[in-house]
Structure 1
């Protein structure tokens, strides 16, 4: 997999950061993208992130099965 940076200013910025951090271009780009992803993700309020998850799992149909203590004991191997 390869990226081709055709913008001279972007290429120069990545190279400056890589030199400053004494890292490879690949490591520098990966770290910068991960940091930006985490920063943007953290900007989404927890309540909104939970609503998204709730909506995703709410799409699954109800099985009608009861998840009681015996069920969880069996999953953990405690049910004898």
Structure 2
């Protein structure tokens, strides 16, 4: 199974890093991808990061006010002239 890197900058980075670590390009790419996957698995998801905001919105409750469609239309550049 092969992997073709068609980006000169990426290839140079991989080769330089492999040289500095005294290993092959395949091994250095494996380590980099594994470390990235582990970092992403360890960090909270976007849903988890937004939990405090969702909770504040839930606690704020409804205002009872009606949404002003014209105001939102104007914000979105959809106002009529």
For the aligned pair, the TM-score class normalised by the smaller chain equals: 0.5 to 0.7
- Give structure 2 stretches of 5+ with no counterpart: 49-81
Bigger radius of gyration among the two: 2
Map of 1:4-43 to 2, 5 A cutoff?
A: 4-43=4-43
Please state whether the residue corresponding to 2:36 is helix, strand or coil.
helix
CA distance in 2: counterparts of 1:29 and 1:6, whole angstroms: 15
* Residue in structure 1 matched with residue 44 of structure 2 by the alignment: 44
Task: Kindly report the root-mean-square deviation, in angstroms, between the aligned alpha carbons of the 2 structures.
Answer: 1.3
Residue 44 (structure 1) shift: 2.3
Q: What TM-score, normalized to structure 2?
A: 0.53
CA distance in 2: counterparts of 1:23 and 1:10, whole angstroms: 17
| Residues 20-78 of structure 1, C-alpha deviations (whole Å, 9 max, x = no match) | 10001111000000000001111126xx6xxxxxxxxxxxxxxxxxxxxxxxxxxxxxx
- Give structure 1 stretches of 5+ with no counterpart: 49-80
Which aligned runs of 4 or more in structure 1 are off by greater than 4 angstroms? Answer: none
Aligned length: 46
